[in-house]
Amino acid sequence: MEKNRNMKQHVSFVGALHIGFGVLGLAGAMAIFFGFQFLFELVEHEPIAQKVLSYVGTTVALILLFFSTLGIIGGAGLFSYRSWARILVMIVSAMNCLNVPVGTAKGVYSIWVLMQPETIELFENSNQS
């Protein structure tokens, strides 16, 4: 029983981590998008530079927006012990491992928590009720 309560705390913490970092990622995506728009204006007489800045800024912002949104959705799903949220957060966590050093720590911790037998049991029991 103590171990289940402890794993519930770990799962809640992982959910909060993913929601918090997801919100930061959304803010970062907006900053990147508008930052590249500002750079776009600085090179108004260089059409090739404008095209490159437009593609790079939009692509990076959309990728960050996509993964941040997945993190927020998955983190919210973890609070209700949804099995799809567990899988989604593990996938997002694996991608986070590429973001050294903070993303790696968050990703490894999240995967460790979500792969524990007690955690899997929590998600299986909540889906049956």
Write down the pLDDT at residue 126: 75
| pLDDT tens per residue across span 43-96 | 888 999 989 998 999 999 999 999 999 999 999 999 999 999 999 999 999 999
| Best CA proximity match to 39, nearest among 56, 59, 26, 27 | 56
Section 12-18 average pLDDT: 97
CA distances from 116 to 11, 17, 53, 109, 123 (A): 10, 18, 44, 11, 11
Give residue 129's pLDDT: 52
Contact (Cβ atoms closer than 8 angstroms) between residue 23 and residue 79: no
pLDDT at 8 over 60: yes
Cα–Cα distance between 32 and 91 in angstroms, integer?
A: 24
Is residue 108 within 8 A of residue 97, CB to CB? The reply is: yes
pTM (two decimals): 0.89
Range 5-33 average pLDDT: 95
Q: Tens of pLDDT along 21-55?
A: 999 999 999 999 999 988 888 888 899 998 999 89
